[in-house]
Amino acid sequence: MKFFIDTANLGDIAEAQALGVLDGVTTNPSLMAKEGITGAENILAHYQKICDLVDGDVSAEVISTDFEGMVSEGEKLAALHPQIVVKLPLIADGIKACKYFSDKGIRTNVTLVFSAGQALLAAKAGATYVSPFIGRLDDISTDGLNLIAEIRQIYDNYAFDTQILAASVRHTMHVIDCAKLGADVMTGPLSSIKGLLKHPLTDIGLAKFLEDYKKGNQ
């Protein structure tokens, strides 16, 4: 299972990268705005900084909602760096743009996916990644993890190459449950990755080992 971090914060990205378990980064316009990154040139420069920090794929989302606009934006983003994956919303023009990029060998991440039918469309259009938003489904009392299971079954039935990128992951149990269900990738905040480290018995055990070592090595 690949671990992506869902942020545009360079400090968090560097910290996850230093841990040695990071496979990529996802961003979206809200995350860029949160870091105060505005203006076309600054946005491109920020993507470049992220690509310089990590080895893996970096999803960069288009703002356009029409086919021509998505193609023009996506081509600029893809040309910026080989690690860039063009992130497209799951609307009709987004699916058309996904097919266009897939035919040209440009990698895509189809985002804002909330149903198995939408995920099927993204796979048919040749998406590299599909991003079902599990946390936002949970937010409206709908089981986000069930969507991961449905997509896994459909993709396996037909051996689609599209990777399931569980998105809107909010905490460590989401990560573990997505792993159990066979999501190819998860993207979440730094806390969802660092949370996996925690166990009180590890801390108690380590303290005891060190105490016993000290006793015999004064």
Q: Which residues make up the interface to ligand E4P (CB under 6 A)?
A: 6, 26, 28, 111, 131, 133, 135-136, 167-168, 187
Question: What is the set of active-site residues?
Answer: 87
Task: State whether residue 125 is helix, strand or coil.
Answer: coil
Closer residue to ligand E4P in complex, CB, 147/167: 167
Q: How far is the CB of 77 from ligand E4P (least distance, A)?
A: 15
Q: Which is nearer to ligand E4P, 173 or 204 (CB)?
A: 173
Q: Do 54 and 15 meet the contact criterion of CB atoms below 8 Å apart?
A: no
CB of 138 to ligand E4P, least distance (A): 9
Q: What are phi and psi of 184, to 5 degrees?
A: -75, -35
Task: Give whichever of 34 and 210 is closer to ligand E4P, judged by the CB atom.
Answer: 34
> Residue written as tokens 């994956």?
85
Residue 141 Cα to chain centre, angstroms: 22
Q: Which amino acid is at 49?
A: K
Q: How far is the CB of 137 from ligand E4P (least distance, A)?
A: 9
* Continuous segment of H or E residues that includes residue 94: helix 92-103
